[in-house]
Structure formats: structure tokens, C-alpha cells
Amino acid sequence: MDTSAEKTPVRLAIVGLGKIARDQHLPAIAATPGFTVAAVASRNAALDGVPHFPTIEALLEGAPDVEAVALCTPPQVRRAQAAAALAAGKHVLLEKPPGATVGELAPLAAAATASGRTLFATWHSRFAAAVEPARAFLAEHAVRSVTITWKEDVRVWHPGQGWIWEPGGLGVFDPGINALSILTRILPRPVFLTAAELSFPANRQAPIAADLNFTDEAGTPIRAEFDFRQTGPQSWDIRVVTDDGVLTLSHGGARLDHDGRSLVDGTDAEYTGIYRHFAGLIARGASDVDALPLSLVADAFLLGRRRSVEPFED
């Protein structure tokens, strides 16, 4: 049983006070026993009444009583921040994707083990309400095919986020990796990429759309379509045809239908789930680092055909 609620709250610092820190981390921390926001590191933003530092280095120097950091910065700068925090004896929570490369994760995990601290590479979509019920269902049924449709309007969800179009920013894989984090959690067998086509705006370093084909050792067809150019209704859906009807995860994994019958109609509790899990990991002296969704994205960059499409302007 997680008894973290009864203990002194972990003194946590937020690093990078951007969209996700404000939209999700701060409300989830406030709603989850076990943590208190003790400091913020941000170049441009601050929180009333909370000690502020311009960089993580200044924070580690100036707030030695901070016990954990939540890195809410873009993936390109996170490895160095995580390494500095672990070297200073802090527990580290990484936003997704856990880094800009797959290879940088093993040294971080080793540093966490060596210092006896927790490293938690979060996949927020895995905490969506339908994910564990879907995993349980699919453990008992044969999977015939999977279709992922993950299409959103980049101008609505990532306004002015220049980092997303830079190398390491992932482009449309920034949301698409959430679908892959669900896929790799709910399917009973490992999946691997067989073909991909990535559409790069002529003026950008990251794809705006991707068509992906995966399979598994049983030859199951698994198709994913990611697109950042969606206007109107947004789609974050995974449809799994099984030997016992069709299972549909929708709304990013919050809802689950079986042959049109609702099994789960969840509310948005992904980040409270993340912080409860982080508290449990810290209490047990454990880490949780799964690079698999990022590996699948790296494979798409390795194997994918590239197509140049019209320039994208924010």
C-alpha cells in the first residue's frame, strides 16, 4: 500500500513553467498528497510565493532542501538537466518524451541507481482511464488488427512552440508518441515497425504527418496515422479488432467501448496518476524508465520515407 500520503510531503521543484507545467503538473500536485511545490526554475516565468531561479543550476545551488524535480522543459534540454539533478541527489520526473535520443536514457537510469534516487520517465497517456482495462481485455483475446488515428491541430495545442519543429522536437510524433505509449502497454506482444512515410514541411526539421505500419510476431497488421494539420474535430483513437468484437479507445484513452457499448468513460486524471506513481517509486527506492515508445519513433526516423510538403507557418 502506498503510505506516502501520511509522510512529510516531498519538496518538489518545477523546471520549465510552460504549458504542461501550468495546465497539468501544478493542478495535479495540488490534488495529490505527497508533494509540495518548493521552487521553480524558469527563464521567464514565476509562481507567486514560490522561490524562483532562472536555471536548474541556480536552483540546485540555491535550494538545497529540494528533494525532487519535475522536468517540464522540451526534450532537447532535458538530459543535461536530469543528469545535474541526479548528481545533486534529487529524484527526477521526466515529461514525455523522456529525451531527444534513446541512448541518453541508459546513463541517466544508471546514475539514478548509483545515487539511490528515483528516475521516472512518464508516459501520461498510460494513466488514462481506459488503458489498464484495455490491457486486461487484450490479455484474454486474440488481436486481429489495430488502427490508430491521432490527428490534432498543432496551432491549437502547440501555439508558438518553436522547439517542436527543431531536431529532437519530434514534430507530429510529440502527440503521436502518446498513442505509441498506449499501444505498447495494451498489446500482449512486442510490436515493431515495418514501413513509414514522414511528411516534412519544406521549412521545418520535424514531420507534420506520419503514416506508420507496425506488426508483431503473429503478423498482426497495425496501422497508425498521425497528423498535425487536423482542424475541426480532433482524433485520438485506437481501434482494436479482436476475436470477440471491436475495442475502441477514444479521447486519448479516457474512454473505452466494446462493440459500441461503453465500458469506461473516464475523466482527465492522468497527471494525478503520474504523481501517485512517482510518490510510490520514491517510497520504494525504485525507478521506472521505459524507452520503448521513443525507440519506435526513432525507428520511424530510421526507416521512414521522407516527403517534402508545403511550408508550415505558425
User: Is the CB of 198 or the CB of 240 nearer to ligand NAP?
Assistant: 198
For ligand NAP, give the closer residue by CB, 73 or 242: 73
Residue 98 touching ligand NAP (CB under 6 A): no
Q: Does 83 bind ligand NAP (CB under 6 A)?
A: no
Give the contact letters, 222-261, x = binds to ligand NAP (CB under 6 A), - = no.
----------------------------------------
Catalytic-role residue among 7, 19, 90, 96: 96
Amino acid at 219: G
* 3-state SS class at 155: helix
Q: Work out whether 95 is an interface residue with ligand NAP (CB under 6 A).
A: yes
Long-range contacts, stretch 29-32, CB < 8 angstroms, 24+ apart: 29/275, 31/272, 32/272, 32/275, 32/276, 32/279
* CA dihedral sign, ordered 165, 73, 154, 134: positive
151 classed as catalytic: no
260 Rama sector, left if φ>0, alpha if ψ -120 to 50, beta otherwise: left
Residues 6+ apart with CB under 8 A from 223: 145, 146, 147, 148, 211, 212, 213, 214
d(CA 139, CA 134) in angstroms, rounded, equals 9
Segment contacting ligand NAP (CB under 6 A): 38-46, 146-154, 237-245, 277-285? 38-46
Using CB atoms, what's the residue nearest to ligand NAP? 18
Q: What character string, x for contact with ligand NAP (CB under 6 A) and - otherwise, covers 260-279?
A: --------------------
* Residue 125 within binding range of ligand NAP, rule CB under 6 A: no
Tell me how far the alpha carbon of residue 14 is from its chain's centroid: 17
Q: Which is nearer to ligand NAP, 170 or 240 (CB)?
A: 170
| Closest to ligand NAP by CB, 21 or 138 | 21
Q: Is 247 helix (H, G, I), strand (E, B) or coil?
A: strand
With CB under 6 A as the contact rule, the residue among 161, 213, 234, 250 that binds ligand NAP is 161
| The CA-based dihedral angle spanning residues 121, 125, 128, 132, taken in that order and rounded to the nearest 10 degrees | -70
Q: Give the CA distances from residue 233 to residues 20, 220, 239, in Å, rounded to whole numbers and listed in that order.
A: 22, 29, 17
94 binds ligand NAP (CB under 6 A): no
| Interface with ligand NAP (CB under 6 A), residue from 7, 43, 305, 306 | 43
Which one among 79, 90, 91, 96 touches ligand NAP, defined by CB under 6 A?
A: 96
The reply to whether 77 sits near ligand NAP by the rule CB under 6 A is yes
Instruction: For residue 241, list its beta bridge partners.
Output: 145, 246
Q: How many angstroms separate the CA atoms of 109 and 233, rounded?
A: 39
Q: Which of 11, 36, 45, 141 binds ligand NAP (CB under 6 A)?
A: 45
In whole angstroms, how close is the CB of 210 to ligand NAP at the nearest point?
A: 16
Greatest Cα pair distance in the chain: 58
- State yes or no: residue 88 binds ligand NAP (CB under 6 A): no
From 10-18, 186-194, 207-215, 301-309, give the range in contact with ligand NAP by CB under 6 A.
10-18
β-partners of residue 39 are 13
Q: Which residues sit at the interface with ligand NAP, rule CB under 6 A?
A: 16-21, 42-45, 72-75, 77, 95-96, 124, 157, 161, 163, 174
* Catalytic machinery residues: 96
